[in-house]
């Protein structure tokens, strides 16, 4: 592979200097001043009361599952069209997921289906809605549904860092949101994530759970079981540089998206993912639906010349591991999986590469 879907981009010497600073301070891991700085700057930038830097987005969700005290048999209502990282921790703790199909206009959780699901499962412990490919879910509509039953709304905003919803940062307005700083996301710490919430007690609890639920005693005292989920000071140093230059990343991603849009306009075989009117996507990936081209054949044809592309997330209700789970379906996520394709969307993607991809795709229809 020579062309990747969304490779990380460092900012000249910025991250290198911050990592050197972290190194020289003697704080390598865990914790340290860079972790505190990243948490403070992220809280300011995204407008949340409190944040917790974590070792991954997945572990941030794990901490929320622990905070909710998930037990075997607990129901959770979750996006059908998502990455399994959204729910892996909850399911591992015995939660039973019920899958909610996507809205055709946003590709995120359909609020009408959530409303119906909450009527069927009013005792559900949580709703986990995914922001798909950089676009926020309709938080206000989902939150209004959850308010009726007092269900906690978690937004898996792993893919939408820097996106906005009605002028607010992605995930703002939910009980809690998680971000991912994995290597292929819009900004990276090499591997890391974040929990963000306006519920300060929740973030404090998750902070404790992320350090093996150690109580404030001179010895190791535990009243409950936690995990190791903290971000290292070195990772956080990279994150501080990345976060300070998030706007440049957003500009680059928008430029790549616009370039794709200009090229695809004349192609009868492609339609770009719809853009919701309620917000601004971070344009993490340029995703298209295909007419007359098999996306799985396209992935193969592009891979043959060293270009990475990917089918959409395979819907959770189609996963063998979730065969026996209930779901509320409209057919949207299944249709999107059958015809969707994620195109290379790296910040440094060259126009010549886009033209080459278009040429190969033209031969497939
Ligand atoms: C990337 C991703 C995650 C997991 O984040 P990690 O930091 O890789 O653990 C969770 N959910 C979605 C939707 C993602 O795209």
Q: Which domains does the chain have, with CATH numbers?
A: 12-244 (3.40.640.10), 246-363 (3.90.1150.10)
The answer to whether 308 touches 5, Cβ cutoff 8 Å, is yes
Q: How confident is the model at residue 210 (pLDDT cuts 50, 70, 90)?
A: very high
The stretch 95-100 carries a mean pLDDT of 98
Closest listed residue to residue 213, CA positions, set 224, 201, 204: 224
Q: How far apart are CA 365 and CA 360, in angstroms?
A: 10
Between 31-40, 197-206, 243-252, 334-343, the lowest mean confidence (pLDDT) is in 31-40
Under 8 Å between Cβ of 38 and 236? yes
- Mean pLDDT for 278-306 is 97
Query: What's the CA-to-centroid distance between 85 and ligand 1, angstroms?
Result: 5
Each residue's pLDDT tens digit, 6-18? 999 999 899 999 9
Q: Answer positive or negative: Cα dihedral of 326, 328, 331, 334.
A: negative
Decide: 122 and 110 in contact? Cβ < 8 Å: no
Find out whether the beta carbon of 159 lies less than 6 Å from any atom of ligand 1.
yes
Cα–Cα distance, 23 to 116 (Å, whole number): 52
- Please tell me what DSSP assigns to residue 171: T
Question: Are the beta carbons of 16 and 10 closer than 8 angstroms?
Answer: yes
pLDDT for the residue 308? 97
Q: Is the pLDDT of residue 28 over 90?
A: no
Of 29-38, 127-136, 156-165, 337-346, least confident by mean pLDDT is: 29-38
Closest CA to 279 of 139, 75, 71: 139
Q: Taking a C-beta distance cutoff of 8 angstroms, is the pair 57, 180 a contact? A: yes
Question: Closest ligand 1 atom, CA of 82?
Answer: 13
CB of 58 closer than 6 A to ligand 1?
yes
Give me ligand 1 centre to Cα 196, in Å.
15
CA of 265 to the centre of ligand 1 (A): 31
- Out of 9-13, 57-61, 175-179, 290-294, least confident range: 9-13
Other beta carbons within 10 angstroms of residue 174's beta carbon come to 25
- Ligand 1 pocket test target in 159, 181, 239, 310 with most atoms within 8 Å of CB: 159
Cα separation of 202 and 132, whole Å?
A: 25
Q: Alpha-carbon distance 100 to 128, whole Å? A: 10
pLDDT at position 8 = 94
**Could you give the residue ranges of the DSSP H alpha helices within the chain?**
14-25, 33-46, 57-67, 88-92, 111-120, 139-149, 200-209, 233-244, 246-264, 295-303, 332-339, 351-364
Give the Cα separation of 40 and 327 in Å (integer).
39
Is the Cα torsion angle 49, 139, 121, 313 positive or negative in sign?
negative
For residue 122, what pLDDT is reported? Answer: 97
**pLDDT confidence band for 162 (50 / 70 / 90):** very high
Predicted model pTM: 0.97
Task: Please give the distance, rounded to the nearest whole angstrom, from the Cα atom of residue 24 to the centre of ligand 1.
Answer: 31
Residue nearest atom 6 of ligand 1, based on CA coordinates: 57
Dihedral sign (CA 201, 202, 203, 204): positive
Mean pLDDT (the chain, rounded): 96
CA separation for the pair 196, 266 (Å, rounded) = 41
pLDDT per residue over 241-282, tens digit each? 999 999 999 999 999 999 999 999 999 999 999 999 999 999
Region 146-158 average pLDDT: 98
Count other C-beta atoms under 10 Å from residue 346's C-beta.
20
**Which residues lie closer than 8 Å to 32 by C-beta, 6 or more apart?**
22, 25, 232, 233, 236
**Exposed e or buried b per residue across 301-318, where buried means at least 16 C-beta atoms within 10 angstroms of its C-beta:** bbeeeebbbbbbbebbbe
Q: Across residues 120-132, what is the average pLDDT?
A: 98
pLDDT at 30 over 80: no
CA distance 38 to 53: 8
H-state helical runs in 121-179: 139-149
- Measured CA to CA, the distance from residue 119 to residue 124 in angstroms comes to 10
């Amino acid at each position: 592979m020579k062309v990747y879907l969304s490779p990380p981009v460092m900012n000249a010497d910025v991250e290198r200097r911050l990592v050197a600073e972290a190194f020289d301070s003697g704080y390598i891991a865990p914790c340290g001043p860079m972790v505190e700085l990243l948490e403070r700057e992220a809280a300011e930038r995204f407008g949340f009361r409190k944040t917790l830097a974590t070792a991954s987005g997945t572990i941030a969700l794990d901490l929320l599952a622990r905070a909710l005290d998930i037990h075997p048999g607990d129901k959770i209502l979750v996006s059908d069209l998502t990455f399994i990282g959204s729910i892996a921790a909850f399911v591992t703790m015995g939660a039973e997921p019920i899958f909610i199909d996507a809205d055709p206009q946003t590709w995120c959780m359909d609020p009408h289906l959530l409303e119906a699901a909450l009527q069927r499962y009013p005792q559900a412990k949580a709703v986990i809605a995914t922001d798909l490919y950089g676009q926020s879910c309709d938080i206000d509509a989902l939150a209004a549904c959850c308010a009726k039953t007092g269900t906690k709304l978690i937004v898996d905003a792993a893919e939408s860092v820097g996106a906005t919803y009605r002028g607010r940062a992605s995930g703002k307005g939910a009980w809690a949101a998680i971000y991912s700083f994995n290597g292929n996301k819009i900004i990276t710490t090499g591997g890391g994530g974040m929990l963000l919430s306006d519920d300060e007690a929740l973030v404090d609890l998750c902070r404790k759970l992320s350090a093996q639920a150690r109580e404030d005693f001179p010895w190791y005292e535990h009243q409950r079981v936690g995990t190791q989920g903290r971000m290292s000071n070195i990772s956080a140093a990279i994150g501080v540089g990345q976060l300070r230059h998030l706007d440049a990343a957003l500009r680059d991603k928008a430029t790549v998206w616009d370039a794709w849009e200009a090229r695809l306009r004349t192609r009868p075989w492609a339609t770009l993912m719809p853009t919701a009117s309620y917000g601004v996507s971070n344009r993490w990936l340029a995703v298209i639906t295909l007419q007359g081209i098999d996306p799985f054949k396209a992935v193969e044809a592009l891979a043959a010349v060293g270009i990475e592309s990917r089918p959409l997330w395979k819907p959770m209700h189609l996963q063998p591991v979730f065969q026996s789970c209930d779901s509320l379906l409209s057919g949207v996520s299944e249709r999107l999986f059958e015809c969707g394709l994620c195109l290379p969307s790296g910040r440094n993607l060259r126009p010549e590469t886009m033209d080459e991809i278009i040429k190969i795709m033209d031969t497939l229809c």
